[in-house]
Structure 1
Amino acid sequence: MALTMLNGLLIKDSSPPVLLLQVSRAPQLDSFNYQSCFMQDVFSHFPEILFIHRTYNPRGKVLYTFLVDGPRVQLEGPLARAVYFAIPAKEDAEGLAQMLQVFKKFNPAWERVCTILVDPHFLPLPTLAMEFPTAEVLFSAFHICKFLQGKFYQLSLERPMERVLLTSLQSTMCSATAGNLRRLYTLLSNCVPPARLPELHSHWLLNDRIWLAHRWRSRAESRRYFQSLEVTTRILSQFFGTTPSEKQGMASLFRYMQQNPGDKGSFNLGLSPQNNHSPSDASPDSPKTEQLVEARIQHSLNAICTGPAAQLCLGELAVVQKSMHLIGCGSEKMNIQILEDTHKVQPQPPASCSCYFNQAFHLPCRHILAMLSARRQVLQPDMLPAQWTASCATSLDSILSSTWSETLDKHLAVTLLTEEVGQLLQHCSKEEFERRYSTLRELADSWIGPYEQVQL
């Protein structure tokens, strides 16, 4: 291997990288290792728990990102905890061993690594155990959560049941006690078809060693932890995972880190004259472009919707403008996450979403508007029901101009909950129906009083 500079990049940071190792056969990289002095310093301070994430590009090359983890790590920013980037020549035992040996050579603190967190599909575990003989290798809670989340969508369950599983998963991950994990395990056993249950590897939920590495976090800390890793993995996928050129992917990632100094793990990289891509080519959408897209969406809302409907949707758009939205594309549906709320969007007309706003009003919600913004599209008339279009304004004005009341809000919430409970009761066994009905019976009687029979 030769110690060379990554083509197209010049190091301008006052603390240059301690490691920039590359073997290249133009125009692709055979192998690549990067660690700045700052990243090395971060690892030397927090070496106890190492989190490894893998990002594949269209050519099948994989970027290994090492991040520090654990109770002592208080770094802010999605990539602030990143301490090492590497692309092995091959993702086999030999290639992985070479990558780890380079990391160890430049990081004497590797001997203090106690725990290594990896994804469930990480096959070369023996190589990892051989290179870090005193460390315990565990599946990470984050990767298990993402694995189960993806499986829930693949099961094609009824929407209420899918929503129950996703909500239970989110709640359990934020409070991974033994009791909560056991309850989620039982829920999966009861709700998932037996033939599909082995695909979920639900026994991971009962492996206490996995969750001890995560259980120390409070509910709020867990939520921030998962959100931070979600953003980190999205950034890695956005820049490295979408381009077949490893050089271009790494250059795009480095530009992003240069332009986001809020990540304390970032470092300054400049582009050489040979690289004719402007920083905006690889960076997230510029504010000017985003404002133009949002203005067009506002115009389409005002042109197509009735006045009250447009105001409701513009309120949702205001939330989108102030929030970070994560978008994952599937074959037929897109998964939209704004802050901590994850919902499923059906983009085909009429557009629909699993969130409360869309289910109650049948209007474009913040998740649908986030999808339009990401796709550089505007609202079309066939994306909402006819009664909400401007042509029906005369018949609806008297209703829509009325004052919003708390009673109506409660009524809509109760109606939606009633529908969900009804759907769940219809799709369960007779024994389960009797058990759930008995629970509802007791709850209703306790609210109304034991002397008044409540009809369910």
Structure 2
Amino acid sequence: CICRQALQYTYLRFVCQNAGAYQPRGAGSRPNQRSHRQNCPFEIVIHANGTGDKLVVLSMSSEHNHTIVPEAFRHTRKQRKLPEDARERAKLMLDVGANVTKVKSYLMENTGKIVSNSDVQNLRNQLREAKKGANPVITIVEQLQSVPGATVEVQESGGVISAIVYQSEAMVRIFEAYPEVLIFDATYKVNNRNMPLFLPMVVDGNGNSRVVAVILTANEEADTVTTAINFFQRTFKSCDKVRSLLVDKDLTALKILTQCFSNAEANLCQFHVLRTFRRQVTESQMGITASQKNAIIENLQKMVHSATQAKFESLYSELQHLGSPRFMEYFDKNWYGCRQQWAWCYTKLSMNIGLTGTQRLESFHRRVKGVTGRNAEMTSFVGDLLLVLRATDEELNHQSFDALNRPMPPPPRTSFLYSYYRVLTPYAFAHVQKEAGHISSTTVNDGLSKNREGILSVTRQSCQCAAFNAFLLPCRHILRLREQELLPLFHENLVPQRWLQRYWLSVTEMPSTDSSVTVHTTEKKEKRVLTETQKFRKAHSVCIELAQVASSVGMTEFNRRISLLEYVLQAWKEGTALGIEIQSEPLRREPLQHLPQGDRTSTSDDNVFDTFDIDALLGRTPSDWSIQNNRPGPNNRKQRNSPKLSDSPKLNDSPKLSVVIRLSDSLKLSDSSKLSDSSKLSDSPKLSDSPKLS
């Protein structure tokens, strides 16, 4: 037939979404599958008429073989389909790590559709599949190389990536400036390729932890880690200046690091050492009793923290009597030979900035995992890792600017500490200031000083104590010796370059000053509208001070002041405007009667006064003060003839004064600005102008 152009179809058949039979396509291993297809007979058939200008219903079956619930229709797949813009917003939120439940709630509120957890999870899977489309290795290298000035080294073995080393321009600059202490450790389960992550870390002049490289290795085999560290060394020129290595008890990494950094002394993390002791020293493995185990662990803890080598050897002798032959064989083989790496009496002799473990690096590892998550897809993991590194650098740069804008309070200019304050970083100055506080209790005789660390040799510029070796800054013994020899306690030769403030600021990224910057100033408005919260805080602070003043007197005076405050409070609750006025002449009133507080006294005048016994107000007597409630009448609606405070004499110039609290029922608190100047609280005389009263 010939149809009109407006009619696109000559035949239409509408069926229920539950029409048709379910046809399994699998092998039957999952028989319990659900489907919408239930052979529903509902059907409407429409056909165009012979002239092609109308649609005619040929047949219709209006029965369903299933339960019909109108609300269930909104839960069908087609009705749940999200608009394209909503899908893109949801993918963006999921890409930055938004919570699935919060994304689902956001979509339901903004689209009005039913959204299930599986719908959001499908969006996340689509996002992951899109990232997997490209070669992940190429994508990772491109991400790392996108950082300006970055160096990326990729090691391949048999066509497989075995190591990736990344160093930004800032990392190279930081390590060249502060190479003395290097913290080295690995963290695991951060990406879906199970590649361990190494983040070598140094400590800058202000005590901040700075990552100086990113190393990803396919495994922890000696050859792989050695190659990665060699890449690390080739970039840096100051590797021979590394003096201390802080690592955990990883024998493979420890051996490689000591070979690559031959001038450095390896210090094992005390936390990991003690944890290894607790894990290895057990009754079953060492053939000891529970009491022996506790005694051995306690002895090992003392050995780790021993202050002198003599104390360490004494504890070792006790350990030989406590432990079994099996334990002593284990200890001598694994620990006694490397005691210089974990006992404090040995590690204190190296420059370690007071660090006894890898806690700083472990803390940064937790921060990285908090952003990247565990077993993250490789490309997203690298992007999130760069985000963490960039955010950390920005925060540390902010601290540098903040140190310039808000310096520590300086010591007296007459003190030698002022000279250290001017040249040292805040972190280094705090250490020197702490040591200077012990000068008076320190004794140095003939260049020797005795303390818990033993007998120390002290010179004008060096000392054998742990405080000096850790920081290479003047300790209490050096300062005491120079004081005894009448030498200046400050000298520029006593301060290493790494602790100088100007050196620290030169290494930190500081943007250049632009002389063309124009400073715009805006006059501060005299008045601004406060929010309800701001008004509450301001009133709260005044009320606290008012409570302190009111409670600092005896009970009689306290009760009078409370009565006055309750009177004011009740007036404000009733919406009555209130102000305070000081008058130079006594009020025209009846003699004040000592009535119970809050009672009202009628007078012969047309006005009615609220009379209160507040004779102790400002130390005056009832004959000098009165409180008046001027009810609005025909002649005193606005009190235009009342003298202004600015024209009234001072309190100490008038023998007879009256304090008037004026109330007007016709003015609510919101209209209090309409009161005359004489009734505004802000215009009341200051306390400093009042006479000195007992």
TM-score by length of 1: 0.42
**Where is the helix percentage greater, Structure 1 or Structure 2?**
1
Larger radius of gyration: 2
